[in-house]
Amino acid sequence: MRRSITTVGVVAAIVALSACASGPTATTAPATTAPTTTAAATETAAADYSGATLTVWVDDTRLAATQAAAKAFETATKAKVTLVKKNFADIQADFTSQVPTGKGPDITIGAHDWLGNLIQNGVVAPIELGDKAADFETVALQAFTNQGQVYGVPYAIENIALIRNTELAAEAPATWDDALAAGKAAGKKYPFLIQVGETGDPYTMYPFQTSFGAPVFTQNEDGSYSSELAMGGAEGEKFAQWLADQGKAGTLDTAITYDIAVDAFAKGKSPFIVGGPWMLEKFKDLKLSIDAIPSAGGQPASPFVGVQGFFISAQSKNAIVANDFLTNYIATTDVQYAMYEAGQRTPALKTAAEKAASDTLTAGFAAVAANAVPMPSNPEMAAVWTYWGVTEANIISGKQKPAAGWQKMIADIQAKIKK
């Protein structure tokens, strides 16, 4: 029998069709029926969102706590909440590129310093918290406010502080010199541990910079930042000189990275380390106390405060459902406390924060946070961090002279901001 294309074609068609018999079912579009007139309908206590699917992006540390809130929401409103686990470092870029396509998530977690960038890219929508706004810590709400509009629901406040090994240093040092003296008296390998790294760490160095009176941008009364660089001038150069001196003395070292510092402190090689609550799980066997960061330049040392929260996408098709989920489920004491237990960061809701303050370490961080300043969230910050860090590292390692290097950095940053 000669092969014929028709026979082949028929056989192929049969095989192909049988294979796609179990193909995708046509997706039902959400019902956009014109509202029919009904008799007076009684409103039930919880809304009925059956058929709605809310997509929320989380990372692995917040997955469990958000799942609890999602389950409660699903039971009460019959909506479906899909939690997508993503890498925290990828979320900002992915959210910015996916939302304009209309296929992005409805809600995502994020850090407050993304806000300027997200607004510039038009991917987040303002949210009106109403009376609930007063239930949040002021600094948390301030961090999520831009030009008077609130753009998210905060859930955690994180900041660094001085973590002291009480067995190696009995008292909290008031100034940098006290800390060094206590560190040397302890007789361990490092009198004081701060992570620096080859490209610098301006976030961790910031409290020392503010103690010299050189904040990065000038702060307005409502807490927001102007785009005026305030770290130039004589105070900034004094700080640069201090960096060079400490680098020469060996207390600040660009070879000390985050991993090396944490490992050394966990092994008891230093009585002090400047760090945040994310380090605590490595120090479980040590007796710790959380203190204020000692001042190096005479003025109080205020570290940066980072606030984490949930953003709503500007193109979300489920704005009402998302809003309900955030304001009535995420902004509750139980869920905020559950997130605290998962991530060890002070909750943003006042009632949950009081509950968390029963843990001394958390209370210590919260006390330092009272004097902290929010990280600037202007979109220009991305460029600022790089120049800032590299210059600090070069001054510490002696590659650049303090005053000249600091002035060059200011000039570079201003040129970049003006562009």
Q: Which of residues 141-180 bind another protein (CB under 8 A)?
A: 147-149
User: Does the footprint of another protein cover residue 221 (CB under 8 A)?
Assistant: no
Q: In the complex, what is the shortest distance from the CB of residue 222 to another protein, in angstroms, rounded to a whole number?
A: 13
Q: Pick out residues in 336-375 that bind another protein (CB under 8 A).
A: none
Which secondary structure element, helix H or strand E, spans residue 225, and what is its range?
Answer: strand 225-229
Encoded tokens for 23: 């193909």
Per the CB < 8 A criterion, the answer to whether 213 and 407 are in contact is: no
Q: Pick out residues in 304-323 that bind another protein (CB under 8 A).
A: 314-315, 317-321, 323
Q: If we measure between CA atoms, which residue out of 214, 233, 228, 203 comes closest to residue 306?
A: 203
Task: Pick the binder of another protein from 56, 123, 179, 290 (CB under 8 A).
Answer: 123
Q: In the complex, what is the shortest distance from the CB of residue 145 to another protein, in angstroms, rounded to a whole number?
A: 12
Q: In the complex, what is the shortest distance from the CB of residue 259 to another protein, in angstroms, rounded to a whole number?
A: 10
Q: Pick out residues in 246-305 that bind another protein (CB under 8 A).
A: 253, 255, 260
Per the CB < 8 A criterion, the answer to whether 54 and 318 are in contact is: yes
Encoded tokens for 180: 């060094």
Q: In the complex, what is the shortest distance from the CB of residue 293 to another protein, in angstroms, rounded to a whole number?
A: 25
Q: In the complex, what is the shortest distance from the CB of residue 160 to another protein, in angstroms, rounded to a whole number?
A: 21
Give the nearer residue to another protein in terms of CB position, either 12 or 84: 12
Give the nearer residue to another protein in terms of CB position, either 211 or 254: 254
Q: In the complex, what is the shortest distance from the CB of residue 1 to another protein, in angstroms, rounded to a whole number?
A: 7
Q: In the complex, what is the shortest distance from the CB of residue 380 to another protein, in angstroms, rounded to a whole number?
A: 8
User: Does the footprint of another protein cover residue 47 (CB under 8 A)?
Assistant: yes
Cα–Cα dist 175/299, whole Å: 10
User: Does the footprint of another protein cover residue 93 (CB under 8 A)?
Assistant: yes
Q: In the complex, what is the shortest distance from the CB of residue 171 to another protein, in angstroms, rounded to a whole number?
A: 31
Give the nearer residue to another protein in terms of CB position, either 204 or 302: 204
User: Does the footprint of another protein cover residue 20 (CB under 8 A)?
Assistant: yes
User: Does the footprint of another protein cover residue 75 (CB under 8 A)?
Assistant: no
Give the nearer residue to another protein in terms of CB position, either 339 or 410: 410
| Cβ-proximal residues to 417 (8 Å cutoff; 6+ apart), any chain | 227, 229, 380, 383, 384
> If you search the block for the tokens 């809304």, which residue do you land on?
47
Cα–Cα dist 271/168, whole Å: 5
Beta strands in 136-203 (DSSP E): 145-146, 149-150, 152-159, 161-165
User: Does the footprint of another protein cover residue 42 (CB under 8 A)?
Assistant: yes
User: One-letter amino acid identity for 264?
Assistant: A
Task: Pick the binder of another protein from 55, 108, 117, 159 (CB under 8 A).
Answer: 117
| # residues contacting another protein (CB under 8 A) | 85
Give the nearer residue to another protein in terms of CB position, either 125 or 161: 125
Residues 149-170 as b/e (b if ≥16 CB within 10 A, e otherwise) read ebbbbbbbbbbbbbbbbeebbe
Q: Pick out residues in 378-417 that bind another protein (CB under 8 A).
A: 379-380, 382-383, 385-387, 390, 394, 399-400, 408, 412, 415-416
The piece of 95-103, 185-193, 340-348, 355-363 that touches another protein (CB under 8 A) is: 95-103
The piece of 41-49, 219-227, 301-309, 369-377 that touches another protein (CB under 8 A) is: 41-49
Give the nearer residue to another protein in terms of CB position, either 217 or 337: 217
Beta strands in 266-315 (DSSP E): 272-275, 288-291, 304-312
How many CB atoms within 10 Å of residue 248? 12
Which secondary structure element, helix H or strand E, spans residue 15, and what is its range?
Answer: helix 5-19
Ramachandran assignment for 189, one of left (phi > 0), alpha (psi -120 to 50 degrees), beta (any other): alpha
| Cβ-proximal residues to 134 (8 Å cutoff; 6+ apart), any chain | none
The piece of 10-18, 220-228, 240-248, 331-339 that touches another protein (CB under 8 A) is: 10-18
Q: How, if at all, do strands 373-374 and 304-312 pair?
A: parallel
Encoded tokens for 282: 């490595």
Cα–Cα dist 332/340, whole Å: 12
User: Does the footprint of another protein cover residue 8 (CB under 8 A)?
Assistant: yes
Q: How, if at all, do strands 304-312 and 107-111 pair?
A: antiparallel
